[in-house]
Chains A and B, each alone.
Chain A
């Protein structure tokens, strides 16, 4: 069953601008992760934030998590053309015997 919903579905920006993607989910989670998928490639893990964390940074990435609103955001600062990809949030459930559940993704286009 689908858990995460990303917003917006598509985002077009210029190089140097910041890109913000949002993710909402429905059930309690152990952690929330963000992945990137370049066209025709596999998914690559970007960052994991645990349910007891509120914010995490990794290079130009900043992730926030609000468990009371069941939402997360991914901010990419000073975007580059190479950031053009689809970005997915995935929730790690608290329930044993279940796997990461992915959202539908946000397609980001960064033009130079």
Chain B
């Protein structure tokens, strides 16, 4: 069983479209994250949820809206896609409180905006 699973793995779309990426973890963790990895492999935190509550929102445009229906799921919806949104988006989860524990990552969702 995959611990943290994301779908889809690849996403190719046109500018202006809206798309969603889904994430599920079966580790029983309370905390989930979205990270964005750019073409230079730089990883930047976007959002963090703890037990369905938004904890971190790191200066991400309003076009990005996370949703956590329950603590095992954290989805990312992106409106009005722009070229600069092209990146690999990683979902992760952790057990530790205080956001300082080991992270378990999904395999990533590569978004290409044309």
Q: A residues near B, CB below 8 A?
A: 2, 30-31, 33, 35, 37, 40-45, 48, 86, 88, 90, 92-93, 96-102, 104-105
Contacts and interface: CB of A to CB of B under 8 A. Distances in A.
Interface string B75-105: 0000000000000001010000011111111
Contacts, number: 61
B45 interface: yes
Residue among B41, B44, B106 with most chain A CB within 10 A: B41
Nearest to A100: B103
A88 B19 CA distance: 29
Given A35-B103, A97-B99, A100-B99, 18 more contacts: A2-B44, A30-B98, A30-B100, A33-B103, A41-B108, A42-B105, A43-B103, A43-B105, A45-B103, A48-B102, A92-B99, A93-B100, A97-B55, A97-B56, A98-B56, A99-B45, A99-B99, A105-B41
Contacts of A96: 98
A42 B106 contact: yes
Interface in B8-53: 33, 35, 40-45, 48
A99 B33 contact: yes
B63 to A, nearest CB: 21
Contact of A102 (B43, B55, B56): B43
Contacts of B101: 48, 92
B94 to A, nearest CB: 8
A99 B105 contact: no
Contacts of A48: 101-102
A21 B30 CA distance: 32
A92 B97 CA distance: 12
A99 B96 CA distance: 11
Nearest to A37: B41
